[in-house]
Amino acid sequence: MSTEKLSRDDLIALHGFTPLPVDQDTIFQGKPFLHQPTPVPLSDIPFPSSDTLVAKVQEYAKEKLPVQTYNHSMRAFY
């Protein structure tokens, strides 16, 4: 669906927000990123499994989701 002729209210209903035209060359000034990213070791990102709610949700997800979906979700978290 083309969004060129939709009203502001229609755009908000369609996207959940007002889309704005963006020129990435202006934002990134011709560079691949604004700030040099630094690596974060996986060991520095703790999984909150000691939280009771997190443990229960993880148990529920393991029971209800296909193995592939659960594994994908865990990879996406990290």
DSSP state for residue 43 in the 8-state scheme? G
The answer to the question of residue 71 being in a domain is: yes
Neighbour tally for 6: CB within 10 Å: 15
Average pLDDT, integer, range 48-67: 92
The answer to the question of residue 43 being in a domain is: yes
pLDDT band at 78 (very low <50, low <70, confident <90, very high): low
AA letter at 67: V
The answer to the question of residue 1 being in a domain is: no
Q: Of all residues in the chain, what percent carry a pLDDT higher than 90?
A: 32
| CA-closest candidate to residue 55, choices 63, 45, 67, 43 | 63
Tally of structural domains, the chain: 1
The answer to the question of residue 17 being in a domain is: yes
pLDDT confidence of residue 1: 54
Parent domain of 27 = 8-32+39-77
Q: pTM of the prediction?
A: 0.42
The answer to the question of residue 2 being in a domain is: no
pLDDT confidence of residue 60: 95
